[in-house]
Amino acid sequence: MTTLFSNISLITSLLQSNGKYYSVIAVVVILFLGIILYLWRLDNKLNKIEIQIRDEHKTS
């Protein structure tokens, strides 16, 4: 278990020393925002489909 923590701290210090730490954080944030945007658009599309189905059942 201690080797895992030492490897993580080694990777973290390596990224910080090369200035890539913020690049990794930026990529993770961009991916997270992309997933949130995708889920939001999917929810809107599903809501429109639900409304259409509800309206079709009311007219039938």
**Domain spans of the chain, in order of start:** 2-59
| In contact, 21 and 12? CB cutoff 8 Å | yes
pTM: 0.66
Helices 21-59 and 2-18 meet at what angle, rounded to 10? 100
Q: Which two tokens stand for residue 28?
A: 């993770």
Alpha-carbon torsion angle 7, 13, 19, 21, nearest 10: 60
pLDDT single digits (tens) 2-60? 576 677 777 778 777 777 778 888 899 999 999 999 999 999 999 999 999 999 888 86
Residue 15: per-residue pLDDT: 73
Amino acid at 59: T
Residue 46: per-residue pLDDT: 97
Is 60 exceeded by the pLDDT of residue 1?
no
